[in-house]
C-alpha cells in the first residue's frame, strides 16, 4: 500500500512547546487536504497518510509540500516487516541505472536481521533485477530507504521530496501585511507566513484614480499568498480622499512620505482591531525614494507596534526569484496602476527630515481623515 | 457585478451611455435572435448529407453573396473566420510563399497585425516599419519608399482604430504595386466596414479583413476578403471548409448574422456619418471652454471615432469618473490596453503631458444626441475637476 510520510522541520527543536507547534502543523496539513479523503496518523517525529486515492497523489503532495513546518515528504510502500516483501517493494521502486545504495533503519529490534544485513540482502536483490545498476555507498545517485517500524510494518521508499520548511502558520503571532499589487509585498507576506505568522492583508485603493482591475489584481495576489498563509482576509481601504487631501494641501515632494505615514497609521489601527501585533511591509532598503533610511524613519515613527520588513536586505533580483517561486510574479507585473504610482511626484524627497514632515503634515486633519477611511473599509475573504 | 458597484458594494450598475463602439458594439436584437435560430432550430452541419444540411449550406452561400454584394466583391472572395484577429493572421501567414524577403507595416496597425508581423521577424523575415503622421495617418511616402523588389507583403490598415484616421487604401495599393507588382497588399478593415464606404474592387488590395462585433453582430465571426485569383495557403487544416482555406465546421449563425449586419451597416453608412459628424461637433462645443486638449485626427477621420488628448490628465481616470454617470468611453485600443504605453501615442508623437490623456469616443447608431450632450457636459466637468486635483 502506498503511503505518504511527512517529516517536519525546526519543530523538533522546541521543548515544552512542542505540542503547540505540532498541533498547529497537523491542523494546517489537514486544512490543505480538506478536499481529499485519507487516514492521518502521527508516529515518532513524522506523520503518515494512508488510504488515499492514489490517482490524486501528485495533488496531495503539491498541497502538503507548501505547508510551512514540513521539511520533506516521501511516498513509500508500506509492507509487512518480512524480508521477502521488503525486497520485492525495493526492487519495484529502485532505479534501473546509475548508482545506488540501500539505507536501513531498524526501529523494531525484534526484527531478526541487523540493518547492515537487511541493506546487503535488499541491495543484492535489486542488483539482480537491474544489472545496469552499480552500488556506491558514499555518493550514490539514488538511495533506497528501508524503515522497519515497531508495529510490524516497513516503509520502503526511493525519493525524498523537499518541502518549504519554516514554522507552522499560527505559531508566530498575527501580522497585518500591506499589499500594494507590486512584486515585493506578496513576497514579504510569504516570508512572514513562513515564520509562522497568521496574516491579514490591507490594500489601499484610490478609485477612480486606480482601476477596479488594480484591486482585482491585489485580490488575485492575495489568493496566491493564501495558498501559503492558509487563511487570508483583505481589508480594502478607500484611500482616495486621503490622497487628494495630501495632494491639495502638501508640497508635491512630500506626497509619498505623508501617504506612507497615513498607510502605516491605518495599518496599525486595523492590526489592533483584529488582535494583530505587527505590520508587515515589502520595503527593501534604498529601492525607491520612500525606502531610504530617512523615509523609513519618517514612516516608522508613527507606528507603535513592530513593523516587520522581511525584504529589507534583499536585492530586487532576489525578490523576483522568490516571487517566481511562489507564483505571484506573473500577476504582480500586470500593468495596473497602484495608489503609489498615480500621484507620483517628479522629484520626491529622498531624505525627509522629520521636523519638516511634521510641519507639512500639520496642514491636514489626520485623525479625521483616518477615521473616515476606516469607516469605508471593504473586507474581502479570498 | 458592475465595476462601480463592485467598488462601492452597491447593486449592479449597467452602462447606459455607451461610447466605446470601437471596442465592441451592442448586438441588434433580431441579429441575436437569428444566431439563436441556428443553434436551436436550424442547427444542422452544412457539410452533412441530409437535405436539412443542404439548406444550411445554401444559407451560407446566400450570406457570402450578400456580404460580397454589400462590399462590391464576388461571393467567391469572402472567407469566414472567427473574427478580425484570425482574418489578419490568415492574411499574413497564408500569403507568404517565399522563405526570405521583407514585410512593410506601420506602428499604427492593430495588435492583431502588428504582433503577427513581429512574429515574422522571429521567423527570419525582415520587417520594415514605416512612419505614422501626427494624426495617425500612414506616411504614404515613407511607406512606399520602404517597398522594394524583395517586399513580399505590405500591410496598411484602412481606418486607424485609435485615432480614426482613414488611410487612402486605393492610393497606397496603387503605389505599392507600382514599385513591386508581386508584393501582396493587405488592409485591415475592421474599423472601416459598415462605418465608412468600402468598395473592395475599387480599393484593389489582395486581402482585406473585417469583423462582426464592431457592427452590431456577435463576437466570434469575421471574414477575410481574398481577391479573385489570389492564392492563399491555409493556416488551419481539417475538413476542408471554406475551400480548404479555413477548415472547421462553419459558425452558421454567425455567418448568417454577419451578412445581415454588414448589409445593414453599409446601407446606413451615409446617414450615420452625418449623425456622428454632428455628435463630434457637440463634443467640440462642449469642450470649448477647456484649454489644452486636442483632437488627434481632424482630417480624413472616421465619423465614428473621436480621439481626444487632454494635457495633464490620465485618460484612464477620466474614463472611470465618467463611469459614475453610466458613461462608457475608451482609452486607445481595448485590445492593447493591457500594455502600459500606447504604441499610437508614441507613433503620432504626442507631447509627454498629453500622452497619458488620450481617450477615445466611438459612436454607434444606438447613441442619441441627448446622451452625446451629457457626455460633452460631463467630459468638460471632469477634466476641470481632475486638473484641479492633479495640478493642485
- Residues of B annotated as part of the active site: 335
pLDDT at A10: 66
Cβ–Cβ of A209/B324 closer than 8 Å? no
Segment A181-231, tens digit of pLDDT: 999 999 999 999 999 999 999 999 988 888 888 899 999 999 999 999 999
Residue B362 lies in a domain: yes
In a domain, B276, yes or no: yes
Measured between CB atoms, which of A212, A252, A335 is closest to B7?
Answer: A212
Q: Is the pLDDT of residue A157 over 90?
A: yes
Both B260 and B273 in a single domain? Answer: no
What total of structural domains would you count in chain B? 2
CATH, range A174-381: 3.40.50.620
Output the pLDDT for position B8: 47
pLDDT of residue A347: 77
Q: Taking 80 as the threshold, does the pLDDT of residue A244 lie above it?
A: yes
Residues B199 and B178 in one domain: yes
pLDDT of the residue at B14:
66
Interface of B with A (CB under 8 A): 3, 6-7, 9, 314, 316-317, 320-321, 323-324, 338-340, 389-390, 392
Q: Say whether A247 and B324 touch across the interface (CB within 8 A).
A: no
Same structural domain, B320 and B293: yes
Best probe of the A interface among B2, B316, B336, by most A CBs < 10 A, is B316
Closest CA of chain A from B247, distance in Å: 35
Residues B79, B205, single domain; the answer is yes
Question: In a mutagenesis test of the A interface, which of B3, B319, B378 is the best target, namely the one with the most A β-carbons within 10 Å?
Answer: B3
Q: Given CB atoms, is A150 within the 8 Å cutoff of chain B?
A: no
Please answer yes or no on whether A209 and B317 come within 8 Å at the CB atom: yes
For chain A, the structural domain boundaries read 2-162, 174-381
Co-location of B181 and B274 in the same domain: no
Q: Which residues in chain B show pLDDT less than 50? A: 1-11, 334-338, 392
Q: Which of B214, B242, B267 is the last residue of a domain?
A: B267
Could you say which of B267, B283, B302 is where a domain stops? Answer: B267
Average pLDDT, chain A: 92
Q: How does pLDDT run across B129-145, given as a tens digit for each residue?
A: 999 998 899 999 999 99
The verdict on B304 and B231 lying in the same domain is no
Q: How confident is the model at residue A19 (pLDDT cuts 50, 70, 90)?
A: confident
Q: Judge whether residue A82 has pLDDT over 90.
A: yes
> Which chain B residues contact residue A211 at CB under 8 A?
316, 320
Question: A343 contacts in B (CB within 8 Å)?
Answer: 390
* CB < 8 Å from B in window 301-360 of A: 334-335, 337, 342-343
pLDDT for A93 equals 93
More confident: A46 or A13: A46
User: CB-based contacts of A380: which residues, under 8 Å, 6+ apart?
Assistant: A219, A233, A234, A235, A236
Residues B183 and B282 in one domain: no
Domain boundary among B233, B267, B301: B267
* A281/B339 Cα distance (integer angstroms): 28
pLDDT of residue B221: 98
Same domain, B308 and B169: no
Q: What is the CATH number of the domain that holds B151?
A: 3.40.640.10
Same domain, B10 and B118: no
Judge whether B214 lies within some domain: yes
Does one domain contain both B35 and B169?
yes
What's the confidence (pLDDT) of residue A13? 61
* Chain B residues in contact with A247 (beta carbon < 8 A): 389-390, 392
Q: Which residue from A minimizes the CA distance to B324? A: A208
Residue A243 Cα, gap to closest chain B Cα (Å): 10
Same domain, B205 and B350: no
Interface test with B, best of A212, A240, A248 (most B CBs within 10 A): A212
Interchain contact, B323 vs A208, CB within 8 Å: yes
Residue range of the domain that includes B379: 3-19+268-390
Residue B24 belongs to a domain: no
- The yes or no reply on domain A2-162 and CATH 3.30.2130.30 is yes
Candidates B6, B321, B392; nearest CB to A247:
B392
Q: What is the mean pLDDT of residues A36-45?
A: 89
Amino acid at each position: 500500500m502506498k503511503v505518504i510520510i511527512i517529516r517536519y522541520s525546526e519543530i523538533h527543536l522546541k521543548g515544552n512547546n512542542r505540542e503547540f507547534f505540532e498541533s498547529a502543523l497537523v491542523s494546517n496539513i489537514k486544512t490543505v487536504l480538506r478536499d481529499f479523503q485519507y487516514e492521518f496518523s502521527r508516529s515518532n517525529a513524522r506523520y503518515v497518510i494512508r488510504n488515499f486515492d492514489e490517482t490524486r497523489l501528485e495533488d496531495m503532495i503539491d498541497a502538503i509540500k507548501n505547508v510551512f513546518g514540513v521539511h520533506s515528504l516521501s511516498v513509500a510502500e508500506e509492507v509487512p516487516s518480512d524480508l521477502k516483501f521488503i525486497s520485492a517493494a525495493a526492487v519495484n521502486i529502485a532505479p534501473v541505472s546509475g548508482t545506488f545504495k540501500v539505507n536501513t533503519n531498524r526501529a523494531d529490534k525484534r526484527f531478526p536481521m541487523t540493518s547492515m544485513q537487511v541493506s546487503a540482502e535488499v541491495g543484492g536483490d535489486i542488483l539482480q533485477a537491474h544489472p545496469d545498476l552499480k552500488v556506491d555507498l558514499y555518493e550514490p545517485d539514488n538511495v533506497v530507504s528501508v524503515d522497519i517500524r515497531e508495529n510490524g510494518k516497513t516503509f520502503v521508499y526511493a525519493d525524498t521530496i523537499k518541502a518549504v520548511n519554516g514554522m507552522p502558520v499560527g505559531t508566530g503571532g498575527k501580522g497585518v501585511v500591506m499589499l500594494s499589487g507590486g512584486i515585493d509585498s506578496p513576497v514579504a507576506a510569504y516570508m512572514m507566513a513562513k515564520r509562522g505568522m497568521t496574516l491579514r492583508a490591507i490594500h489601499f485603493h484610490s478609485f477612480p484614480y486606480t482601476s477596479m482591475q488594480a484591486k482585482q489584481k491585489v485580490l488575485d495576489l492575495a489568493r496566491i499568498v493564501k495558498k501559503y498563509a492558509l487563511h487570508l482576509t483583505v481589508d480594502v481601504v478607500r484611500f482616495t480622499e486621503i490622497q487628494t487631501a495630501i495632494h491639495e494641501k502638501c508640497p508635491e515632494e512630500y506626497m509619498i512620505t505623508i501617504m506612507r505615514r497615513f498607510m502605516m497609521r491605518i495599518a496599525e489601527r486595523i492590526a489592533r482591531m483584529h488582535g494583530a501585533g505587527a505590520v508587515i511591509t515589502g520595503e527593501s532598503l534604498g529601492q525607491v525614494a520612500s525606502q531610504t533610511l530617512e523615509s523609513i524613519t519618517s514612516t516608522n515613527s508613527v507606528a507603535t507596534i513592530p513593523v516587520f520588513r522581511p525584504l529589507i536586505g534583499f536585492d530586487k533580483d532576489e525578490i523576483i526569484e522568490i516571487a517566481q517561486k511562489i507564483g505571484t510574479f506573473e500577476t504582480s507585473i500586470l500593468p495596473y496602476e497602484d495608489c503609489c504610482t498615480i500621484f507620483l511626484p517628479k522629484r520626491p524627497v529622498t531624505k525627509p527630515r522629520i521636523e519638516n514632515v511634521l510641519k507639512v503634515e500639520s496642514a491636514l486633519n489626520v485623525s479625521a481623515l483616518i477615521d473616515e477611511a476606516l469607516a469605508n473599509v471593504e473586507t474581502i475573504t479570498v | 457585478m458592475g465595476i462601480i458597484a463592485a467598488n462601492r458594494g452597491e447593486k449592479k450598475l449597467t452602462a447606459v451611455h455607451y461610447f466605446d463602439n470601437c471596442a465592441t458594439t451592442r448586438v441588434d436584437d433580431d441579429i441575436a435572435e437569428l444566431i439563436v435560430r441556428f443553434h436551436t432550430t436550424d442547427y444542422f452541419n452544412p457539410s452533412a448529407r441530409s437535405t436539412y444540411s443542404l439548406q444550411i449550406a445554401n444559407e451560407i452561400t446566400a450570406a457570402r453573396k450578400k456580404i460580397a454584394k454589400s462590399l462590391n466583391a464576388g461571393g467567391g472572395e469572402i472567407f469566414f473566420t472567427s473574427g478580425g484577429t484570425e482574418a489578419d493572421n490568415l492574411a499574413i501567414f497564408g500569403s507568404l510563399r517565399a522563405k526570405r524577403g521583407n514585410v512593410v507595416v506601420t506602428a499604427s496597425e492593430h495588435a492583431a497585425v502588428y504582433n503577427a508581423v513581429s512574429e515574422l521577424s522571429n521567423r527570419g523575415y525582415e520587417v520594415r516599419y514605416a512612419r505614422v503622421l501626427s494624426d495617425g495617418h500612414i506616411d504614404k511616402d515613407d511607406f512606399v519608399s520602404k517597398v522594394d523588389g524583395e517586399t513580399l507583403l505590405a500591410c496598411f490598415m484602412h481606418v486607424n482604430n485609435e485615432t480614426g484616421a482613414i488611410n487612402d487604401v486605393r492610393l497606397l495599393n496603387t503605389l505599392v504595386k507600382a514599385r513591386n507588382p508581386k508584393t501582396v497588399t493587405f488592409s485591415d478593415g475592421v474599423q472601416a466596414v459598415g462605418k465608412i464606404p468600402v468598395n473592395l474592387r475599387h480599393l484593389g488590395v489582395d486581402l482585406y479583413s473585417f469583423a462582426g462585433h464592431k457592427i452590431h453582430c456577435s463576437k466570434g465571426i469575421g471574414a477575410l476578403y481574398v481577391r479573385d485569383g489570389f492564392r492563399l495557403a491555409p493556416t488551419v487544416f481539417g475538413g476542408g471548409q471554406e475551400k480548404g482555406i479555413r477548415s472547421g465546421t462553419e459558425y452558421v449563425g454567425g455567418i448568417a448574422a454577419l451578412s445581415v449586419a454588414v448589409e445593414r451597416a453599409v446601407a446606413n453608412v451615409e446617414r450615420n456619418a452625418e449623425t456622428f459628424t454632428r455628435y463630434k461637433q457637440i463634443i467640440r462645443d462642449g469642450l470649448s471652454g477647456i484649454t489644452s486638449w486636442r483632437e488627434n485626427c481632424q482630417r480624413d477621420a472616421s465619423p465614428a471615432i473621436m480621439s481626444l488628448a487632454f494635457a495633464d490628465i490620465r485618460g484612464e481616470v477620466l474614463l472611470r469618473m465618467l463611469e459614475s454617470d453610466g458613461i462608457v468611453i475608451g482609452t486607445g485600443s481595448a485590445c492593447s490596453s493591457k500594455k502600459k504605453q500606447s504604441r499610437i501615442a508614441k507613433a503620432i508623437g504626442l507631447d509627454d503631458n498629453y500622452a497619458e490623456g488620450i481617450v477615445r469616443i466611438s459612436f454607434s447608431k444606438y447613441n442619441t444626441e441627448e446622451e452625446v450632450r451629457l457626455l460633452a457636459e460631463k467630459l468638460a466637468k471632469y477634466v476641470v475637476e481632475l486638473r484641479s486635483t492633479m495640478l493642485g
